Structure 1
């Protein structure tokens, strides 16, 4: 069985370089100190497949070469990050369209119109100005990253990929065989609307990391009595 990519746990802090303001982190204390805390976000070291291109190339390269336990700092210029701000992406929309959708817009409010995400800049007489530029556009960025550890166990790698792509590996089963990977689905998958899309990402990442072509997902249905008996054993 091949193992073509390494997986690490990382902690990160991301800043606007021009102001020094933090805009993202997976560290709970830092999130609270910088008014970024969200009680729906699980704050813990992030599972990261090195080479998955989830970060900008400069950050990706730094993570690949980082020493475990040593904080690194990487700068990403605007042109290589979210790009410069495009004035054509600032648009005026009728206020009545928001009311029709039961939205009461206010400056700074994130909104989705059609399939585009933007931020309300101002609300005037019958019109709403919305900026569809990325919130990162026009900014040089800075990242402080620490590789907490490298995951080497095959099953732990499979769990880490599940956490990264689906958000949780709880109640899943993992079997890494010579010619395939078998994932026993958690009960939540039967009802979770994002699971079908997550499976496509999982297949791609499992193939990439383990070098195997075959990925099997097993969906198990048990009677309520059998499930209750298993819990009491």
Structure 2
């Protein structure tokens, strides 16, 4: 595989130290774009060395997964901060602060110890993965982008290449403009178009 390839993969993932499974595609495959920042570094490196229908079990160290644990992300927060949100903190609950999500570890003496590290930080991960398909056509790649961003009715999406620099995409009405902006950015970055035009299509309701 190569950078910016669109593929479908199936996998299961577990923590090496405990054997706990934390992610799985079940019987389905999921779309992936092989590009920096989209995947864990270790997963990206492994996929670049694989081919369609190839299976591989890989081990990803913390520095190529979610990083090492950072002691600076262990914080003591006054219990009053929780009370402001009408919340009584308990060990195990999650708390949002400064755009970070943390887990309450303990409550003592009016202070709450919260761990803002990613739960998988410091862990070695084991992935059992298989590349099911390489997505080739522009239409299918565009649909994959909508699928990644959770947009329904992706089968109604049609792409028309206007020129080497421009593409027009027919989409169902009322798709959030934020999604359209993100998808357009991805098309420009990964498919190398310079201009993306969206055309909303309104259809006559089917008669009974």
TM-score of the superposed pair, with normalisation by structure 1:
0.76
C-alpha deviations, 1:33-74, integer Å up to 9, x for none? xxxxxxxxxxx4211112253222221122123232332122
SS at match of 2:122: coil
Structure 2 unaligned residues grouped into runs of 5+: none
Query: Any residues of structure 2 matched to 1:189-208 within 5 Å, and which?
Result: 189=175, 192=176, 195-196=177-178, 198-208=179-189
C-alpha deviations, 1:179-220, integer Å up to 9, x for none? 22223343342xx5xx41x33431232123332111112346
Corresponding residue for residue 159 of structure 2 = 175
Corresponding residue for residue 173 of structure 2 = 187
TM-score of the superposed pair, with normalisation by structure 2:
0.84
The alpha carbon displacement at 1:113 in A equals: 0.9
Asked whether the equivalents of residues 40 and 65 of structure 2 are also in contact (C-alpha less than 8 Å), the reply is yes
C-alpha deviations, 1:66-120, integer Å up to 9, x for none? 2323321221212332222122211111222212213333222222112122111
SS at match of 2:123: coil
Q: C-alpha root-mean-square deviation of aligned residues, in Å? A: 2.4
The alpha carbon displacement at 1:159 in A equals: 0.1
Measure, in 2, the Cα distance between the counterparts of 1:10 and 1:148: 5
Task: Please state which structure has a larger fraction of its residues in helix.
Answer: 1
Measure, in 2, the Cα distance between the counterparts of 1:102 and 1:183: 47
Asked whether the equivalents of residues 85 and 133 of structure 1 are also in contact (C-alpha less than 8 Å), the reply is yes
Asked whether the equivalents of residues 159 and 169 of structure 1 are also in contact (C-alpha less than 8 Å), the reply is no
Report the number of matched residues: 203
Asked whether the equivalents of residues 15 and 142 of structure 1 are also in contact (C-alpha less than 8 Å), the reply is yes
SS at match of 1:187: coil
SS at match of 1:122: strand
* Larger RCO (CA within 8 A; separation ≥ 6): 1
Structure 1 unaligned residues grouped into runs of 5+: 29-43
The alpha carbon displacement at 1:24 in A equals: 1.9
Asked whether the equivalents of residues 162 and 168 of structure 2 are also in contact (C-alpha less than 8 Å), the reply is no
Measure, in 2, the Cα distance between the counterparts of 1:52 and 1:182: 26
Asked whether the equivalents of residues 158 and 171 of structure 2 are also in contact (C-alpha less than 8 Å), the reply is no
Corresponding residue for residue 103 of structure 2 = 119
Query: Any residues of structure 2 matched to 1:35-50 within 5 Å, and which?
Result: 44-50=28-34
